[in-house]
Amino acid sequence: MIFDFLKAFVCGGLICVVGQILIDKTKLTSARILVLFVVAGCILGGIGVYEPFVNFAGCGATTPLPGFGYLLAKGVKEEIDNSGAIGIFTGGLKSSAGGISAAILAGLFCAVVFQPKSKK
C-alpha cells in the first residue's frame, strides 16, 4: 500500500517535472503542453509502452494527461478487437467518455454556481 503510494507519487511527480521543464525551457503554453502530453500518451499507448508503466505506477501513470492519451489508444484497440474497423471511430471517445462528460458537467455546474473573480 505505502509502496504503491510511493510509486504513484514518484512517477506522477516525474511526469509533471517533464512538463515543468517544457514550460520553462521552451515557453510552450499550457494548452500546447496538454495537447502534447495527450498525443504522446496515445502514441506510447499505441505501441504498447505505456501499459507496463501503468501496471507499475498505477495512478501515477493514469492521473497525468499521458494517461488520458493511453486510455484513448487502449479504447481503440479494444473496440477493434470487439467490433472490427468501426472501432477506429468509436474506441477513443468511448473509453474517455466518462472523463470528458465529468469535466463538461463539472464545468457547467461551476458556471451556474460560481461568479467570475475580477482579475487583478
Partner 1 sequence: MNHITVTSNEFLKMVEKSSPKSNIFTNCLKAFFSGGLICGAAEIYFYFLENHLTISKEQAGLLVSATLIVIAAILTGMGIYSKLGKFCGAGTIVPITGFANSMASPAVEFKKEGFILGVGAKMFAVAGPVIVYGVLTSAIVGIIYFIGSKL
Does residue 13 interact with partner 1 by CB under 8 A? yes
Residues 41-60 within binding reach of partner 1 (CB under 8 A) = 42-43, 45-46, 57-60
Q: Does 72 bind partner 1 (CB under 8 A)?
A: yes
Distance (Å, whole) CA 120 – CA 114? 18
Check: CB of residue 95 under 8 Å from CB of residue 71: yes
For 80, 86, 87, 88, 105, the CA distances from 83, given in Å and listed in that order, are 5, 7, 6, 10, 29
Q: How far apart are CA 72 and CA 79, in angstroms?
A: 11
Site for partner 1 in 15-34 (CB under 8 A): 15-25, 30-31, 33-34
Interface with partner 1: number of residues (CB under 8 A): 80
Nearer to partner 1, 52 or 100 (CB): 100
Q: How far is the CB of 113 from partner 1 (least distance, A)?
A: 6
114 binding partner 1? (CB under 8 A) = yes
Using rule CB under 8 A, residue 88 touches partner 1: yes
- The answer to whether the CB of 45 falls within 8 A of the CB of 69 is yes
87 belongs to the binding site for partner 1 (CB under 8 A): yes
